[in-house]
Amino acid sequence: MTRARRRVLVTGGAGFIGSHIADAYLAAGDEVWIMDDLSSGRRENVPEAAHLVEMDIRSAEDVRNLFREARFDLVNHHAAQIDVRVSVTDPAKDAAINVHGLLNLTEAAIEVGTRRFVFVSSGGVVYGEPELIPTPESAPKGPLSPYGVTKLTGEHYLNYYRHVRGLDYVALRYANVYGPRQDPLGEAGVVSIFCTRLLDGAVLTVFGDGEQTRDYVFVRDVVAANMLVSDLELPDSGDIDDRAFNVGTGVGTSVIGLAQVLESVAAVQPGRKHERERPGELRHSTLNTGKLRAHGWAPAYSLEQGLQETYTFIRDQRAGGPA
Ligand SMILES: NC(=O)c1ccc[n+]([C@@H]2O[C@H](COP(=O)([O-])OP(=O)(O)OC[C@H]3O[C@@H](n4cnc5c(N)ncnc54)[C@H](O)[C@@H]3O)[C@@H](O)[C@H]2O)c1
């Protein structure tokens, strides 16, 4: 049976992850609109077949007007202030985009009867320094940055909207996402920084002892998770963890381990130097993804495959080749 064509809004669809999500909805036959203020996103990331609306999610009026015009069936919300350091120096800006912006979208979605709202949270920040690794959705929450607070707050708002106002939603708690089109600012920025250094034949800088671990998940696996939850039937939910899914590999990789794989992908070894550990950095973060796996999702890319694709993309882009 073929599924009806949906009208999908991807916010942040000119950015790294959102642009891959937009590609996938188009490939699935959906009509795709992208809302992005191009603050960090790029016009060249936007697929040709998508409608790009240059808009700031902080403008309630602009958001409402667009929803009244387009009446989206599905909203996939990737636009955000993503830089933890900016959230520390300017928490009001972080909240304006990540909380007020979200509320503009949820209010508009309720008004036009949007059927599902996919919200992107972060498994790297909502749990704080977790006691249990890999960390399941039900673990205690304790964000250690304003960015983490706004992501967790977003989930609480959506849970309220679901229970009281009838807006159906799913929250995806991403691990450290890497892949083509990423920039050095995201939660897996180290991948793009190391790739660039290796292409320059420059020494890799490792903060602290390099034994801190992260869960690196390839962007195409993240896309598959988004496609799955966009129309996954879910039971009535209780608290925020019922509607949340971790998206990661369940495998922790140290900074040194990451450097080793990338050095082998790049076939160069310019050396490494250690600098003082950065204050406030988590020691370990790896997500338990059993809940999403129970619905049939599993990462398809090994770290080696994903890093190979990412390195090749960055190399070609620098050479002015295919982007
Ligand atoms: N990259 C990761 O490892 C990671 C991990 C956890 C969660 N996330 C979340 O995934 C989402 C996408 O992140 P990304 O890494 O692709 O970052 P990105 O910066 O490439 O994408 C964010 C997009 O949002 C747009 N945007 C920012 N502020 C806006 C505003 N006020 N109005 C409209 N558009 C705005 C930007 O222009 C950009 O295109 C974010 O919600 C981020 O918090 C990312």
Is 185 inside any structural domain? yes
Say how many Å lie between the CA of residue 270 and the centre of ligand 1: 32
Query: In this structure, is residue 2 part of a structural domain?
Result: no
Question: Does residue 184 share a domain with residue 80?
Answer: no
Residues 90 and 209 in one domain: no
ω before 134 within 30° of 0 (cis)? Answer: yes
**Is there a domain that residue 94 lies in?**
yes
* Integer Rg of the chain from CA: 19
Task: Identify whether 1 is part of a domain.
Answer: no
Q: Within this chain, do residues 116 and 259 fall inside the same structural domain, yes or no?
A: no
Q: Which of 9, 10, 11, 17 to mutate to test the pocket of ligand 1 (most atoms within 8 A of CB)?
A: 17
pLDDT digits (tens, 9 = 90+) for 116-140: 999 999 999 999 999 999 999 999 9
Of 66-80, 251-265, 276-290, 298-312, the one with minimum mean pLDDT is: 276-290
| CA of 6 relative to ligand 1 center, distance in Å | 23
> Does residue 172 sit within a domain?
yes
Q: Is the pLDDT of residue 321 over 70?
A: no
What is the pLDDT at residue 279?
A: 79
* Residue 17: per-residue pLDDT: 98
pLDDT of residue 293: 98
pLDDT at 228: 98
- Whether the pTM exceeds 0.95: the reply is yes
φ, ψ dihedrals at 293, nearest 5°: -60, -35
The answer, yes or no, to whether residue 211 has pLDDT greater than 80, is yes
Same domain for 97 and 200, yes or no, is no
Q: Is 147 a catalytic residue?
A: yes
pLDDT of residue 141: 98
Kindly state the average pLDDT of the residues 298-304.
98
**Residue entry with tokens 């671990």:** 213
Judge if 236 and 268 occupy the same domain.
no
Q: Are the C-beta atoms of 110 and 58 separated by less than 8 Å?
A: no
Share of the chain above pLDDT 90, in %: 91
Q: Are residues 211 and 222 in the same domain?
A: no
pLDDT at 60 (0 to 100): 98
Q: For residue 18, give the ligand 1 atom closest to its CA.
A: 16
Task: Report yes or no on 129 lying in a domain.
Answer: yes
Pocket of ligand 1 (CB under 6 A): 12, 14-18, 36-41, 56-58, 78-82, 97, 101, 120, 122, 124, 174, 176-177, 186-188
Q: Are residues 170 and 254 in the same domain?
A: no
Average pLDDT score, the chain:
95
Whether 128 is in a domain gets the answer: yes
Are residue 207 and residue 226 in the same domain, yes or no? no
We report the CATH number of the domain holding residue 104 as 3.40.50.720
Average pLDDT over residues 249-255: 98
pLDDT of residue 187: 65
Catalytic one among 25, 127, 147, 157?
A: 147
Specify the pLDDT at position 322.
Answer: 54
In this prediction, residue 304 carries a pLDDT of 98
Claim to verify: residue 150 and residue 26 sit in the same structural domain: yes
Do 41 and 134 lie in one domain? The reply is: yes
Looking at the structure, tell me whether residues 98 and 197 fall in a common domain. Answer: no
| CATH number, domain containing residue 273 | 3.90.25.10
pLDDT top residue among 270 and 318? 270
pLDDT at 286: 98
pLDDT at residue 20 in the model: 98
Domain range for 69 is 7-176+217-247
Share of the chain above pLDDT 70, in %: 97
For 154-171, write each residue's pLDDT tens digit: 999 999 999 999 999 999
Long-range contacts of 316-321 (CB under 8 A, 24+ apart): 318/196, 318/199
Confidence of residue 1 (pLDDT cuts 50, 70, 90): low
Q: What values do phi and psi take at 11, rounded to 5?
A: -80, 145
Q: Count how many domains the chain has.
A: 2
* Domain membership flag for residue 167: yes
Same domain, 238 and 257: no
